[in-house]
Amino acid sequence: MANGWAGDGAVQEQIDSTIDDAVQRARSKLGQGDSLAHCEECGAAIPEARRRAVPGVRLCVNCQREQDRQDARFSGYNRRGSKDSQLR
């Protein structure tokens, strides 16, 4: 049943779209290629265990933690609001 401007299944489509965006964003962050021996941000040595555990690692734990904090500020924001929410 449609409400206002939203068509049948619009809510589920929005949920699916949000999940697809999150999966795509997570996949884009996966490391690729060889891991670095030193952090590309601060130059600190990256332990061998971390390089084996995270393929393509580019950052040390501290720099990765800071980057994750920065990324968390923008995650969860749904850029695809419904027409109803845009009209209010």
Give pTM, 2 decimals.
0.54
From the list 35, 75, 87, 24, the residue with the least C-alpha distance to 59 is 35
Say which residue, 48 or 82, is predicted with more confidence: 48
Q: What residue spans define the domains of the chain?
A: 29-73
Model confidence at 78, pLDDT cuts 50, 70, 90, reads low
Model confidence at 43, pLDDT cuts 50, 70, 90, reads very high
